[in-house]
Amino acid sequence: MPGTDLPDVRSEADLPTDAPSYDVVVIGFGIAGGCAALEAADAGARVLLLERAAVHGGTSALSGGHFYLGGGTPVQVATGHDDAVEEMETYLTLTSKEPEREKIHAYCAGSVEHFGWLESLGFEFERSFYPEKAVIQPGTQGLMFTGNEKVWPFLDHARPAPRGHKVPVAGDTDGTKLVMDLIRDRVEEAGVEVRYETGATQLVTSPSGSVVGVCWKSFDEVGAVRTRSVILAAGGFVMNADMVAAHTPALGSKLFTLGSTYDDGLGIRLGASVGGELKHMDEPFITAPFYPPSILVKGLLVNRLGQRFVAEDSYHARTSYHVLRQPEQAAYLIVDSAHLEEQRMSLCPLIDGWETVEEMETGLGIPSGALVSTLARYNDHAARGEDPDFRKQPEWLAPQDQGPWGAYDLTLGKALYAGFTLGGLRTTVDGEVQRADGSVIDGLYAAGACASNIAQDGAGYCSGTQLGEGSFFGRRAGRHAAGR
Protein backbone atom coordinates (compact mmCIF):
# COMPACT_ATOMS: atom_id res chain seq x y z
CA MET A 1 0.00 0.00 0.00
CA PRO A 2 1.70 3.18 -1.16
CA GLY A 3 2.60 6.35 0.64
CA THR A 4 0.35 7.82 3.25
CA ASP A 5 -2.93 6.32 2.01
CA LEU A 6 -5.18 4.84 4.66
CA PRO A 7 -6.55 1.35 4.04
CA ASP A 8 -10.24 1.02 3.26
CA VAL A 9 -12.42 -0.06 6.17
CA ARG A 10 -14.58 -3.13 5.57
CA SER A 11 -18.07 -3.61 6.92
CA GLU A 12 -19.05 -6.46 9.21
CA ALA A 13 -21.71 -7.32 6.65
CA ASP A 14 -18.91 -8.19 4.21
CA LEU A 15 -17.50 -10.91 6.45
CA PRO A 16 -18.18 -14.40 5.09
CA THR A 17 -20.54 -16.38 7.29
CA ASP A 18 -17.91 -19.11 7.58
CA ALA A 19 -15.03 -16.78 8.50
CA PRO A 20 -12.91 -18.28 11.31
CA SER A 21 -13.37 -16.63 14.70
CA TYR A 22 -10.71 -15.68 17.27
CA ASP A 23 -10.73 -13.89 20.58
CA VAL A 24 -7.64 -11.84 19.74
CA VAL A 25 -5.81 -11.17 16.46
CA VAL A 26 -2.30 -9.74 16.76
CA ILE A 27 -0.73 -8.03 13.74
CA GLY A 28 3.07 -8.22 13.77
CA PHE A 29 5.49 -10.64 15.43
CA GLY A 30 8.11 -8.34 16.89
CA ILE A 31 8.60 -8.13 20.62
CA ALA A 32 5.38 -6.18 21.28
CA GLY A 33 3.24 -8.51 19.18
CA GLY A 34 4.89 -11.64 20.52
CA CYS A 35 4.41 -10.57 24.14
CA ALA A 36 0.81 -9.52 23.46
CA ALA A 37 -0.01 -12.85 21.84
CA LEU A 38 1.64 -14.83 24.62
CA GLU A 39 -0.09 -12.94 27.41
CA ALA A 40 -3.48 -13.16 25.67
CA ALA A 41 -3.08 -16.90 25.17
CA ASP A 42 -1.98 -17.40 28.77
CA ALA A 43 -5.18 -15.61 29.80
CA GLY A 44 -7.20 -18.22 27.93
CA ALA A 45 -7.87 -16.43 24.64
CA ARG A 46 -7.84 -18.07 21.24
CA VAL A 47 -5.16 -16.05 19.45
CA LEU A 48 -4.14 -15.59 15.81
CA LEU A 49 -0.80 -13.90 15.09
CA LEU A 50 -0.23 -12.52 11.57
CA GLU A 51 3.31 -11.72 10.36
CA ARG A 52 4.14 -10.44 6.88
CA ALA A 53 7.72 -11.74 6.99
CA ALA A 54 8.70 -15.37 6.65
CA VAL A 55 10.11 -15.40 10.20
CA HIS A 56 9.42 -13.85 13.57
CA GLY A 57 11.41 -10.97 15.03
CA GLY A 58 10.66 -7.83 13.06
CA THR A 59 12.80 -4.80 13.82
CA SER A 60 13.09 -6.00 17.42
CA ALA A 61 15.51 -8.67 16.24
CA LEU A 62 17.79 -5.92 14.85
CA SER A 63 18.04 -3.94 18.08
CA GLY A 64 20.97 -3.70 20.44
CA GLY A 65 19.42 -5.93 23.08
CA HIS A 66 18.81 -3.45 25.91
CA PHE A 67 15.72 -3.47 28.11
CA TYR A 68 15.24 -0.26 30.10
CA LEU A 69 14.19 -1.52 33.53
CA GLY A 70 14.62 -0.23 37.07
CA GLY A 71 13.12 0.28 40.48
CA GLY A 72 15.37 -2.33 42.07
CA THR A 73 15.82 -5.19 39.64
CA PRO A 74 17.88 -8.20 40.75
CA VAL A 75 20.77 -7.02 38.54
CA GLN A 76 20.70 -3.55 40.10
CA VAL A 77 20.64 -5.06 43.59
CA ALA A 78 23.40 -7.57 42.83
CA THR A 79 25.71 -4.87 41.46
CA GLY A 80 25.10 -2.43 44.32
CA HIS A 81 22.99 0.15 42.48
CA ASP A 82 20.19 1.54 44.58
CA ASP A 83 17.14 2.50 42.53
CA ALA A 84 13.57 3.35 43.43
CA VAL A 85 10.37 3.40 41.42
CA GLU A 86 9.94 7.09 42.29
CA GLU A 87 13.42 8.00 40.99
CA MET A 88 12.87 6.13 37.72
CA GLU A 89 9.45 7.74 37.35
CA THR A 90 10.83 11.23 37.94
CA TYR A 91 13.60 10.70 35.41
CA LEU A 92 11.33 9.36 32.64
CA THR A 93 8.87 12.18 33.27
CA LEU A 94 11.67 14.75 32.86
CA THR A 95 12.83 13.22 29.58
CA SER A 96 9.39 12.86 27.97
CA LYS A 97 8.13 15.52 25.58
CA GLU A 98 4.56 15.32 26.86
CA PRO A 99 4.67 12.93 29.81
CA GLU A 100 1.81 10.44 30.00
CA ARG A 101 2.09 10.04 33.74
CA GLU A 102 -0.22 7.06 34.09
CA LYS A 103 1.85 5.08 31.59
CA ILE A 104 5.16 6.15 33.09
CA HIS A 105 3.98 5.18 36.57
CA ALA A 106 2.69 1.81 35.40
CA TYR A 107 5.95 1.08 33.58
CA CYS A 108 8.15 2.02 36.53
CA ALA A 109 5.97 0.34 39.16
CA GLY A 110 5.79 -2.84 37.07
CA SER A 111 9.42 -2.87 35.99
CA VAL A 112 10.73 -5.42 38.51
CA GLU A 113 7.83 -7.80 37.81
CA HIS A 114 8.44 -7.40 34.09
CA PHE A 115 12.12 -8.20 34.61
CA GLY A 116 11.08 -11.47 36.25
CA TRP A 117 8.63 -12.22 33.45
CA LEU A 118 11.34 -11.74 30.84
CA GLU A 119 13.68 -14.12 32.68
CA SER A 120 10.83 -16.65 32.90
CA LEU A 121 11.03 -16.95 29.12
CA GLY A 122 14.19 -19.00 29.62
CA PHE A 123 17.28 -16.80 30.09
CA GLU A 124 18.95 -14.84 32.87
CA PHE A 125 20.47 -11.36 32.76
CA GLU A 126 24.05 -11.52 33.97
CA ARG A 127 24.44 -9.96 37.42
CA SER A 128 27.29 -7.68 36.36
CA PHE A 129 27.87 -4.00 35.56
CA TYR A 130 29.75 -2.28 32.71
CA PRO A 131 31.00 1.14 33.92
CA GLU A 132 32.29 2.71 30.70
CA LYS A 133 30.56 4.98 28.16
CA ALA A 134 29.43 2.79 25.30
CA VAL A 135 26.50 2.30 22.96
CA ILE A 136 26.15 -1.27 24.16
CA GLN A 137 28.20 -3.49 26.46
CA PRO A 138 31.00 -5.19 24.52
CA GLY A 139 30.50 -8.46 26.38
CA THR A 140 27.78 -10.13 28.40
CA GLN A 141 27.62 -7.58 31.23
CA GLY A 142 24.04 -7.28 32.39
CA LEU A 143 23.79 -3.58 33.25
CA MET A 144 25.03 -0.15 32.17
CA PHE A 145 23.90 3.47 31.94
CA THR A 146 21.98 3.92 28.67
CA GLY A 147 20.51 7.39 29.07
CA ASN A 148 21.16 10.81 30.59
CA GLU A 149 20.69 9.77 34.21
CA LYS A 150 24.13 11.11 35.19
CA VAL A 151 23.85 14.24 33.01
CA TRP A 152 22.83 17.71 34.16
CA PRO A 153 20.08 18.83 34.70
CA PHE A 154 18.53 15.37 35.17
CA LEU A 155 20.81 14.29 38.02
CA ASP A 156 19.70 17.32 40.02
CA HIS A 157 16.13 15.99 40.08
CA ALA A 158 16.40 12.18 40.08
CA ARG A 159 19.05 10.01 41.72
CA PRO A 160 21.01 8.37 38.88
CA ALA A 161 20.88 4.61 38.44
CA PRO A 162 21.87 2.38 35.50
CA ARG A 163 18.83 0.76 33.88
CA GLY A 164 20.11 -0.63 30.58
CA HIS A 165 19.71 -4.40 31.03
CA LYS A 166 21.35 -6.40 28.25
CA VAL A 167 20.61 -10.00 27.38
CA PRO A 168 23.76 -12.08 28.16
CA VAL A 169 25.00 -12.57 24.62
CA ALA A 170 28.05 -10.74 23.21
CA GLY A 171 27.25 -8.70 20.12
CA ASP A 172 24.74 -6.06 19.13
CA THR A 173 21.72 -8.11 18.03
CA ASP A 174 22.19 -11.75 19.01
CA GLY A 175 20.76 -11.09 22.47
CA THR A 176 17.46 -9.81 21.11
CA LYS A 177 17.35 -12.72 18.69
CA LEU A 178 17.67 -15.04 21.68
CA VAL A 179 14.70 -13.35 23.37
CA MET A 180 12.61 -13.44 20.19
CA ASP A 181 13.39 -17.12 19.69
CA LEU A 182 12.29 -17.83 23.25
CA ILE A 183 9.09 -15.83 22.77
CA ARG A 184 8.43 -17.80 19.58
CA ASP A 185 8.84 -21.05 21.51
CA ARG A 186 6.57 -19.90 24.33
CA VAL A 187 3.96 -18.63 21.82
CA GLU A 188 3.91 -22.01 20.12
CA GLU A 189 3.63 -23.81 23.47
CA ALA A 190 0.69 -21.56 24.41
CA GLY A 191 -1.23 -22.68 21.33
CA VAL A 192 -1.17 -19.40 19.41
CA GLU A 193 -1.86 -19.87 15.71
CA VAL A 194 0.92 -18.11 13.80
CA ARG A 195 0.65 -17.36 10.09
CA TYR A 196 3.84 -16.13 8.45
CA GLU A 197 3.97 -14.37 5.08
CA THR A 198 0.47 -13.14 5.84
CA GLY A 199 -0.30 -9.46 6.19
CA ALA A 200 -3.36 -7.60 7.38
CA THR A 201 -4.90 -5.42 4.70
CA GLN A 202 -8.01 -3.90 6.28
CA LEU A 203 -9.89 -3.71 9.54
CA VAL A 204 -13.52 -4.75 9.73
CA THR A 205 -15.97 -2.70 11.82
CA SER A 206 -19.51 -3.13 13.08
CA PRO A 207 -22.23 -0.51 12.53
CA SER A 208 -21.35 0.95 15.95
CA GLY A 209 -17.68 1.38 14.97
CA SER A 210 -16.25 -1.53 16.95
CA VAL A 211 -13.41 -3.45 15.32
CA VAL A 212 -14.73 -6.97 14.76
CA GLY A 213 -12.47 -8.48 12.11
CA VAL A 214 -9.36 -8.39 9.97
CA CYS A 215 -8.86 -8.94 6.26
CA TRP A 216 -5.58 -10.58 5.26
CA LYS A 217 -3.50 -11.48 2.24
CA SER A 218 -0.84 -14.15 1.73
CA PHE A 219 0.67 -14.05 -1.76
CA ASP A 220 -2.39 -14.45 -4.03
CA GLU A 221 -4.66 -15.77 -1.31
CA VAL A 222 -6.99 -13.45 0.57
CA GLY A 223 -9.36 -13.98 3.45
CA ALA A 224 -10.91 -12.54 6.59
CA VAL A 225 -11.41 -13.52 10.23
CA ARG A 226 -13.77 -12.44 12.97
CA THR A 227 -12.39 -11.33 16.30
CA ARG A 228 -13.32 -9.55 19.51
CA SER A 229 -10.00 -7.66 19.64
CA VAL A 230 -7.21 -6.62 17.29
CA ILE A 231 -3.74 -5.64 18.54
CA LEU A 232 -1.66 -3.59 16.09
CA ALA A 233 2.05 -4.30 16.62
CA ALA A 234 3.41 -3.96 13.10
CA GLY A 235 6.29 -1.55 13.73
CA GLY A 236 7.01 2.07 12.85
CA PHE A 237 7.18 3.90 9.52
CA VAL A 238 10.85 4.60 8.93
CA MET A 239 10.89 2.57 5.68
CA ASN A 240 7.99 4.53 4.18
CA ALA A 241 9.58 7.47 2.37
CA ASP A 242 6.27 9.30 1.95
CA MET A 243 5.34 9.05 5.62
CA VAL A 244 8.86 10.09 6.63
CA ALA A 245 8.67 13.12 4.32
CA ALA A 246 5.26 14.04 5.73
CA HIS A 247 6.06 13.56 9.42
CA THR A 248 9.80 13.25 10.16
CA PRO A 249 11.74 14.86 7.27
CA ALA A 250 14.86 14.84 9.48
CA LEU A 251 15.04 11.10 8.70
CA GLY A 252 15.86 11.99 5.11
CA SER A 253 18.36 10.82 2.53
CA LYS A 254 21.44 11.57 4.65
CA LEU A 255 20.52 9.03 7.32
CA PHE A 256 20.74 5.27 7.59
CA THR A 257 17.31 3.99 8.56
CA LEU A 258 17.05 1.45 11.36
CA GLY A 259 14.19 -0.84 10.50
CA SER A 260 13.00 -3.91 8.70
CA THR A 261 11.38 -4.01 5.28
CA TYR A 262 7.96 -3.95 6.89
CA ASP A 263 8.42 -0.80 8.98
CA ASP A 264 6.21 0.96 6.46
CA GLY A 265 3.61 2.35 8.84
CA LEU A 266 0.85 -0.06 7.85
CA GLY A 267 -0.17 -0.76 11.44
CA ILE A 268 -0.34 2.95 12.20
CA ARG A 269 -2.39 3.58 9.05
CA LEU A 270 -4.75 0.72 9.90
CA GLY A 271 -5.41 2.37 13.25
CA ALA A 272 -5.90 5.77 11.65
CA SER A 273 -8.33 4.29 9.13
CA VAL A 274 -10.89 3.69 11.88
CA GLY A 275 -10.33 7.01 13.63
CA GLY A 276 -7.28 6.46 15.82
CA GLU A 277 -5.42 9.66 16.70
CA LEU A 278 -1.72 9.93 15.81
CA LYS A 279 0.67 11.44 18.34
CA HIS A 280 4.28 12.62 18.23
CA MET A 281 4.64 11.60 14.59
CA ASP A 282 7.28 14.32 14.13
CA GLU A 283 9.62 12.82 16.74
CA PRO A 284 12.52 10.70 15.41
CA PHE A 285 15.38 9.02 17.20
CA ILE A 286 18.61 10.04 15.44
CA THR A 287 22.18 9.35 16.50
CA ALA A 288 25.80 9.08 15.41
CA PRO A 289 27.78 8.02 18.51
CA PHE A 290 31.35 9.28 18.74
CA TYR A 291 32.20 6.87 21.57
CA PRO A 292 33.53 4.30 22.49
CA PRO A 293 36.28 4.61 23.57
CA SER A 294 35.16 6.48 26.66
CA ILE A 295 38.25 8.69 26.69
CA LEU A 296 36.88 10.66 23.73
CA VAL A 297 34.09 11.93 25.98
CA LYS A 298 36.71 14.08 27.73
CA GLY A 299 37.08 16.17 24.58
CA LEU A 300 34.85 19.07 23.64
CA LEU A 301 32.18 19.48 20.98
CA VAL A 302 32.03 22.70 19.01
CA ASN A 303 29.98 23.99 16.09
CA ARG A 304 31.18 25.87 13.01
CA LEU A 305 31.44 29.03 15.09
CA GLY A 306 33.81 27.34 17.52
CA GLN A 307 31.22 27.32 20.30
CA ARG A 308 30.28 24.48 22.64
CA PHE A 309 26.56 23.65 22.68
CA VAL A 310 25.96 20.50 24.76
CA ALA A 311 27.56 18.52 27.58
CA GLU A 312 29.80 15.93 25.93
CA ASP A 313 28.95 13.29 28.53
CA SER A 314 25.34 13.21 27.31
CA TYR A 315 23.79 10.04 25.95
CA HIS A 316 24.74 9.85 22.26
CA ALA A 317 21.22 10.58 20.95
CA ARG A 318 21.00 13.76 23.05
CA THR A 319 24.33 14.91 21.65
CA SER A 320 23.17 14.19 18.10
CA TYR A 321 19.86 15.96 18.75
CA HIS A 322 21.77 19.15 19.54
CA VAL A 323 24.24 18.72 16.65
CA LEU A 324 21.34 18.76 14.20
CA ARG A 325 20.25 22.13 15.61
CA GLN A 326 23.61 23.82 14.95
CA PRO A 327 24.45 26.01 11.93
CA GLU A 328 24.63 23.81 8.83
CA GLN A 329 24.09 20.81 11.15
CA ALA A 330 27.86 20.73 11.63
CA ALA A 331 29.93 19.90 14.70
CA TYR A 332 33.41 18.68 15.59
CA LEU A 333 34.79 16.72 18.52
CA ILE A 334 38.13 18.25 19.52
CA VAL A 335 40.66 16.11 21.41
CA ASP A 336 44.36 16.51 22.16
CA SER A 337 47.07 13.90 21.62
CA ALA A 338 46.69 12.60 25.19
CA HIS A 339 43.07 11.63 24.49
CA LEU A 340 43.14 10.79 20.81
CA GLU A 341 42.30 7.09 20.47
CA GLU A 342 40.97 5.06 17.60
CA GLN A 343 37.18 4.89 17.66
CA ARG A 344 35.53 1.54 18.07
CA MET A 345 32.26 2.76 16.56
CA SER A 346 33.92 4.79 13.76
CA LEU A 347 30.67 6.49 12.76
CA CYS A 348 32.24 9.94 13.08
CA PRO A 349 35.40 10.10 10.95
CA LEU A 350 38.69 11.65 12.06
CA ILE A 351 39.21 14.71 9.86
CA ASP A 352 42.87 15.45 10.49
CA GLY A 353 45.46 16.51 13.05
CA TRP A 354 47.04 19.94 13.58
CA GLU A 355 50.12 21.14 15.44
CA THR A 356 48.41 24.31 16.69
CA VAL A 357 44.85 25.31 17.54
CA GLU A 358 45.13 28.21 15.11
CA GLU A 359 45.90 25.79 12.28
CA MET A 360 42.93 23.67 13.36
CA GLU A 361 40.64 26.72 13.18
CA THR A 362 41.76 27.34 9.61
CA GLY A 363 41.42 23.69 8.65
CA LEU A 364 37.86 23.46 10.02
CA GLY A 365 36.74 26.85 8.72
CA ILE A 366 36.10 28.20 12.21
CA PRO A 367 36.36 32.00 12.67
CA SER A 368 39.84 33.05 13.75
CA GLY A 369 40.28 33.08 17.51
CA ALA A 370 36.93 31.46 18.31
CA LEU A 371 38.22 27.94 18.96
CA VAL A 372 41.32 29.28 20.71
CA SER A 373 39.05 31.12 23.16
CA THR A 374 36.62 28.22 23.65
CA LEU A 375 39.40 25.71 24.21
CA ALA A 376 41.21 27.98 26.67
CA ARG A 377 38.05 28.43 28.74
CA TYR A 378 37.30 24.70 28.68
CA ASN A 379 40.83 23.78 29.71
CA ASP A 380 40.96 26.34 32.51
CA HIS A 381 37.78 25.01 34.12
CA ALA A 382 38.52 21.34 33.35
CA ALA A 383 41.81 21.61 35.24
CA ARG A 384 39.71 22.44 38.33
CA GLY A 385 37.13 19.74 37.62
CA GLU A 386 34.47 22.28 36.70
CA ASP A 387 32.22 23.08 33.75
CA PRO A 388 30.08 26.13 34.55
CA ASP A 389 28.76 26.30 30.99
CA PHE A 390 27.18 22.84 30.54
CA ARG A 391 27.78 21.08 33.89
CA LYS A 392 29.70 18.19 32.36
CA GLN A 393 30.50 15.79 35.17
CA PRO A 394 34.04 15.81 36.66
CA GLU A 395 34.80 12.20 35.70
CA TRP A 396 34.61 13.25 32.02
CA LEU A 397 36.57 16.50 32.34
CA ALA A 398 40.23 16.80 31.33
CA PRO A 399 42.20 19.69 29.80
CA GLN A 400 42.81 19.25 26.07
CA ASP A 401 46.16 21.03 26.07
CA GLN A 402 48.66 18.48 24.77
CA GLY A 403 49.27 19.15 21.07
CA PRO A 404 48.89 18.09 18.38
CA TRP A 405 45.07 18.17 18.24
CA GLY A 406 42.63 16.11 16.23
CA ALA A 407 39.02 16.65 15.19
CA TYR A 408 36.26 14.14 14.52
CA ASP A 409 33.46 15.13 12.16
CA LEU A 410 29.93 14.90 13.56
CA THR A 411 28.42 16.85 10.66
CA LEU A 412 25.26 15.43 9.10
CA GLY A 413 26.29 13.85 5.82
CA LYS A 414 29.84 13.23 7.05
CA ALA A 415 29.09 11.18 10.16
CA LEU A 416 26.92 8.10 9.75
CA TYR A 417 23.67 9.08 11.40
CA ALA A 418 20.99 6.44 11.89
CA GLY A 419 17.44 6.73 13.09
CA PHE A 420 13.94 5.43 13.47
CA THR A 421 10.48 6.81 14.23
CA LEU A 422 8.94 7.31 17.69
CA GLY A 423 5.39 8.46 16.94
CA GLY A 424 2.30 6.32 16.64
CA LEU A 425 -1.26 5.77 17.72
CA ARG A 426 -2.63 7.34 20.87
CA THR A 427 -3.41 4.64 23.41
CA THR A 428 -4.53 4.13 26.99
CA VAL A 429 -2.27 2.52 29.57
CA ASP A 430 -3.75 -0.83 28.50
CA GLY A 431 -3.07 -0.22 24.81
CA GLU A 432 -6.61 0.68 23.72
CA VAL A 433 -6.47 2.95 20.67
CA GLN A 434 -8.05 6.35 21.26
CA ARG A 435 -9.72 8.94 19.06
CA ALA A 436 -8.80 12.63 19.18
CA ASP A 437 -11.49 13.24 21.81
CA GLY A 438 -9.98 10.59 24.07
CA SER A 439 -12.70 8.00 23.51
CA VAL A 440 -11.64 4.41 22.94
CA ILE A 441 -12.13 2.53 19.68
CA ASP A 442 -13.83 -0.62 20.88
CA GLY A 443 -11.85 -3.75 20.08
CA LEU A 444 -8.66 -2.03 18.86
CA TYR A 445 -5.26 -1.96 20.58
CA ALA A 446 -1.75 -0.87 19.62
CA ALA A 447 1.68 -1.59 21.10
CA GLY A 448 5.36 -1.26 20.28
CA ALA A 449 6.36 1.15 17.52
CA CYS A 450 2.72 1.38 16.37
CA ALA A 451 1.85 3.21 19.58
CA SER A 452 2.97 6.47 21.12
CA ASN A 453 3.94 5.53 24.65
CA ILE A 454 6.81 6.75 26.83
CA ALA A 455 9.64 6.87 24.23
CA GLN A 456 8.38 9.93 22.38
CA ASP A 457 11.27 12.41 22.56
CA GLY A 458 14.45 11.96 20.52
CA ALA A 459 16.49 14.10 22.91
CA GLY A 460 15.37 12.17 25.97
CA TYR A 461 15.35 8.65 24.59
CA CYS A 462 17.21 5.95 26.54
CA SER A 463 18.53 2.76 24.96
CA GLY A 464 16.27 -0.11 25.94
CA THR A 465 13.08 1.91 26.07
CA GLN A 466 11.69 0.45 22.84
CA LEU A 467 12.24 -3.17 23.85
CA GLY A 468 11.25 -2.40 27.42
CA GLU A 469 8.03 -0.55 26.80
CA GLY A 470 7.17 -2.59 23.69
CA SER A 471 7.24 -5.82 25.66
CA PHE A 472 5.65 -4.28 28.79
CA PHE A 473 2.73 -2.55 27.08
CA GLY A 474 2.39 -5.42 24.61
CA ARG A 475 1.71 -7.67 27.60
CA ARG A 476 -0.84 -5.21 29.02
CA ALA A 477 -2.63 -4.99 25.67
CA GLY A 478 -2.73 -8.78 25.40
CA ARG A 479 -4.18 -9.21 28.89
CA HIS A 480 -6.77 -6.48 28.41
CA ALA A 481 -7.79 -7.71 24.98
CA ALA A 482 -8.20 -11.27 26.26
CA GLY A 483 -10.40 -10.01 29.09
CA ARG A 484 -12.97 -8.48 26.78
pLDDT in tens, 179-232: 999 999 999 999 999 999 999 999 999 999 999 999 999 999 999 999 999 999
The one-letter amino acid code at 235 reads G
Residue 462 included in any domain: yes
> Do both 208 and 263 map to the same domain?
yes
> Do both 396 and 338 map to the same domain?
yes
Domain boundary pick from 166, 184, 211:
166
The one-letter amino acid code at 80 reads G
pLDDT band at 1 (very low <50, low <70, confident <90, very high): very low
Domains in the chain, number: 3
> Do both 135 and 193 map to the same domain?
no
Residue 3 included in any domain: no
pLDDT in tens, 156-170: 999 999 999 999 876
> Do both 207 and 315 map to the same domain?
no
Angle at CA of residue 203, ends 200 and 205, nearest 5°: 160
Strand partners, 221: 218
> Do both 295 and 369 map to the same domain?
yes
> Do both 282 and 293 map to the same domain?
no
Give the lowest-confidence range in 106-110, 210-214, 239-243: 239-243
Domain boundary pick from 147, 166, 185:
166
pLDDT in tens, 303-331: 999 999 999 999 999 999 999 999 999 99
- Chain centre to alpha carbon of residue 224: 33
Residue 1 included in any domain: no
Whether pLDDT at 251 is above 90 = no
User: What CATH number has the domain bearing residue 216?
Assistant: 3.50.50.60
> Do both 202 and 150 map to the same domain?
no
Residue 4 included in any domain: no
Average per-residue pLDDT for the chain: 94
pLDDT in tens, 7-54: 999 999 999 999 999 999 999 999 999 999 999 999 999 999 999 999
Please state, in angstroms and rounded to a whole number, the distance separating the CA atoms of residues 76 and 432: 32
> Do both 333 and 471 map to the same domain?
no
The mean pLDDT of 89-118, rounded to a whole number, is 96
> Do both 120 and 42 map to the same domain?
no
Residue 2 included in any domain: no
The mean pLDDT of 143-156, rounded to a whole number, is 96
% of the chain exceeding 90 in pLDDT: 88
Give the three-state DSSP class for 323.
Answer: helix
Residue 468 included in any domain: yes
> Do both 472 and 337 map to the same domain?
no
> Do both 180 and 57 map to the same domain?
yes
Domain boundary pick from 354, 389, 409:
409
User: What CATH number has the domain bearing residue 302?
Assistant: 3.90.700.10
> Do both 82 and 30 map to the same domain?
no
pLDDT in tens, 437-477: 999 999 999 999 999 988 767 788 899 999 999 999 999 99
Cα-Cα-Cα-Cα dihedral of 273, 277, 281, 282, to 10°? 120
Residue 94 included in any domain: yes
Whether pLDDT at 395 is above 70 = yes
Containing structural domain, residue 404: 289-409
